Copies of this chain bind each other. A is one copy, B any other.
Amino acid sequence: MTRKLLGKPIADEIKAQNVKRAAAFAENTGVRPTLCVIRVGEREDDVAYEQSIARAAAGAGVNLTTRLLAADCKQEELTAAIEAASGDEKIHGILLFRPLQGHLDEKAALGKIASSKDVDGVTESQMARLYEAKRPADGFFLPCTAESVLQILRYYEIPLAGRKAVVIGRSTVIGKPVSLLLLAHDATVTIAHSRTENLPQICRDADILVCAAGMTVESDEGGLRGGVGREYLSEGQTVIDVGIHSDDESNLFGDVDECAAADLAAAYTPVPGGVGSVTTQLLLRHVIDAADLHSGTPPMPERLE
């Protein structure tokens, strides 16, 4: 019997904590925990993500403020917006939507985010801490999507220590941070990517397969489907799907062929309803953590170790 690892129960649990903590923070300090989203232009993905953050923030009692810059803005304008947010006492967390337009220097921009407000773990000091971590610990912010993968594995009690985990994808947004987190949980981690030879076989060999490579293939019906099909999967596996794509009718799907996963794997996360649903609540948790740290409130104990 294949288990469908839904994000909802985890998201609900974190949401309940977020609501309580955000209310307590507002009561103690007179202000709400506040996230500043910085968005350049009107990319469809960015707008959709911003809307889902806005809904979740409203539900949790977290303030959202948006700094919107024109698609053709200059680097100095972006820098000024980030520095203003970094220096603004009323803002506790900053999220810069990426990838940026090609004419902008993303690394330079990320470097302007105050480390204490870096709720998605994108600054040098947060990355270095993750890189060094023997066990991920309190006091810094993991990239939200990578943390979401680990939250799901832990919530559903998938054993990690000593097991073979294969991560497809090597970006600093997902592939590398997920790999380091799995390693910190004592998994044996293989990082695979577009240049990997015999990728299907390497994937079949995994106990835990994390797909974060944006893989799609043409389906028999002519449209697209997840590119990680039967030949990548084997019995007993846990498959975590971080991909997100939409077809012509705006139906969402992931990197994994869900029918194949449901048929072959021991457990898998669906898209939608899996990793993505946990990510936004983790982002809000980080905003509240940052607000608490800023005001000197001791951090809450229940966290991903």
Question: Binary interface profile of A, 129-173, with partner B (CB < 8 Å = 1, else 0)?
Answer: 101100000000000000000000000000001111000001010
Chain B: minimal CB distance from A162 (Å): 4
Cβ of A103 < 8 Å from any Cβ of B?
Answer: no
Are A161 and B131 CB-contacts (below 8 A) given A170-B183, A189-B190, A190-B188? no
Shortest Cβ distance from A207 into B: residue: B197
Chain B: minimal CB distance from A191 (Å): 5
Chain B: minimal CB distance from A169 (Å): 11
Chain B: minimal CB distance from A115 (Å): 10
Question: Binary interface profile of A, 162-200, with partner B (CB < 8 Å = 1, else 0)?
Answer: 111000001010001001000100101111110111000
Chain B: minimal CB distance from A136 (Å): 14
Cβ of A127 < 8 Å from any Cβ of B?
Answer: yes
Are A191 and B196 CB-contacts (below 8 A) given A125-B128, A131-B131, A172-B131? no
The answer to whether B163 and A197 have CB atoms under 8 Å apart is yes
Residues on the B chain within 8 Å of A186, using CB: 193, 195
Q: Which residues of A contact B (CB under 8 A)?
A: 107, 124-125, 127-129, 131-132, 161-164, 170, 172, 176, 179, 183, 186, 188-193, 195-197, 202
Rank and list the top 8 A-B pairs by shortest CB-CB distance, nearest first: A124-B128, A162-B197, A190-B190, A186-B195, A188-B196, A127-B128, A128-B128, A162-B195
